[in-house]
Amino acid sequence: MTAAALAPAWRVRRRRRVADTVMAVLLVVATAIAVGLLVLILGYLLVNGLPALNVAFFTERPKPFGVEGGGVGPAIVGTLIVSALAGVIAIPIGIAAAIFVTELRPGRWGGIVRFAAELIAGLPSIAVGVFVWSFLVRGLLGRYSALAGAVALAVIMVPIVARTTEEVLRLVPGSLREAALALGAPRWRVILRVVLPTARAGVATAAVLAVARAAGETAPLLLTALGNLFFSTDLLRPIAALPLQIYQYASSPYDDWHAKAWGGSLILVAVIAAVSLALRAFAPRGAR
């Protein structure tokens, strides 16, 4: 400060102006890097993924190396089955948790449920995988299975559903609840017939968003659903999933399989991005 005070005024002014400009430029560069990364990743995905796509890629099962063609059919079916089942498990729990937190016990108990959900959301997905692996795969069920995979994904989905639903429920005006209660409706009718229908669009968004997010998870499925090269709908057997298939193709030494890994990734990202963005565009405020 003393040095600055002794310097001539014009020099101080210039130094301050230069510092201001330099920092502005640096901040623009930082933003450009962050956005540039997205462009780079999506660019590579499109360039390498598009050539791999054809009808057979969607419908056929993986072929052994050296055999022409083959695709990720079982993986697509498997991902649909496992994510849907996980959704069936997770969505009611998540919505109930949100109702509990906002409508029933907003105080200490609600706080406990919310905090637990936040902590589960922060768990590494591989840790969730290890939990289900030791609990179901080695424990109760005794084998790798689609069901175990669904449970693992459900653990990941619940906090997402709960949190987003909670935000939506908070947007429902208190006056609506009061009006319904004043008409003599019991609380359960108020929640089921007034609050939830008002928040319907947002709750649906929360549910779909959670399923889309979890569908891209690999680590927990690796330890639970394991993967499968054949079409399977048996919930008690190992099942294929798109992320697992990508992992297998990517870690192989063959160029043809690498191309298929890119193709699979492109499908995965396209579906997740399309669902998330569409919801974002149409969803009400708070449900993002």
Partner 1 sequence: MRSGRGDRVFAGGVTGLALIVPLTLAGITFLMVEAAWPSITKYGVGFLTSSTWDPVKEIFGAAAYLYGTLVTTAIAVVLAAPVAVGAAIFLVEYAPKRIAGTLSFLIEVLAYIPSIVYGLWGLFVLVPLFRENVEPSLQSLLGPVPIVGGLFAGAIGGRDLLVGGVILAIMIVPILVAVSREVIAAVPTAQREGMLGIGATKWEMVRGAVLPYARIGIIGAIVLGLARAFGETMAVTLVVGNSSTAITSSLFVPGYTMASAIANQFVEATGQLYFSAIVEIAVLLLIVALVVNTLARLLIRRVSAAPQGFAI
Q: Which of residues 127-186 bind partner 1 (CB under 8 A)?
A: 127-131, 133-135, 138, 155, 158-159, 162, 186
239 - beta bridge partners?
226
Candidate residues 27, 50, 84, 183; the one interacting with partner 1 per rule CB under 8 A = 27
| 71 vs 245: CA distance, rounded Å | 10
- Quick one: 19 or 176, whose CB is closer to partner 1? 19
Q: How far is the CB of 123 from partner 1 (least distance, A)?
A: 5
Candidate residues 203, 223, 225, 239; the one interacting with partner 1 per rule CB under 8 A = 223
* Residue 88 C-beta-side C-alpha neighbours within 13 Å: 7
- Binding of partner 1 at residue 120 (CB under 8 A)? yes
Taking contact as CB under 8 A, which single stretch among the options 1-9, 54-62, 123-131, 166-174 is the one that binds partner 1? 123-131
- The tokens of 262 are what? 């890119």
Identify residues 68-87 at the interface with partner 1 (CB under 8 A). none
CB 126 within 8 A of CB 219: yes
- Binding of partner 1 at residue 88 (CB under 8 A)? no
- Binding of partner 1 at residue 247 (CB under 8 A)? yes
Give the H or E element holding residue 161.
helix 146-171
Candidate residues 81, 113, 157, 225; the one interacting with partner 1 per rule CB under 8 A = 113
- Binding of partner 1 at residue 122 (CB under 8 A)? yes
- Quick one: 81 or 190, whose CB is closer to partner 1? 190
Secondary structure (3-state) at 123: coil
- Binding of partner 1 at residue 273 (CB under 8 A)? yes
Taking contact as CB under 8 A, which single stretch among the options 15-23, 62-70, 80-88, 200-208 is the one that binds partner 1? 15-23
CB 56 within 8 A of CB 127: no
Angle between helices 73-99 and 108-122 (to 10 degrees): 160
- Quick one: 53 or 96, whose CB is closer to partner 1? 96
Candidate residues 11, 170, 189, 200; the one interacting with partner 1 per rule CB under 8 A = 189
Candidate residues 4, 23, 88, 176; the one interacting with partner 1 per rule CB under 8 A = 23
CB 75 within 8 A of CB 264: yes
Q: Where are the alpha helices (DSSP H) in the chain?
A: 2-6, 9-49, 55-59, 73-99, 108-122, 125-132, 146-171, 174-182, 187-189, 196-198, 200-215, 219-222, 242-250, 255-282
Secondary structure (3-state) at 67: coil
| 144 vs 240: CA distance, rounded Å | 11
For 284, which DSSP code?
P
Which x/- pattern, by CB under 8 A, does the window 34-53 give for partner 1? xx-xx-xx--xx--x-----
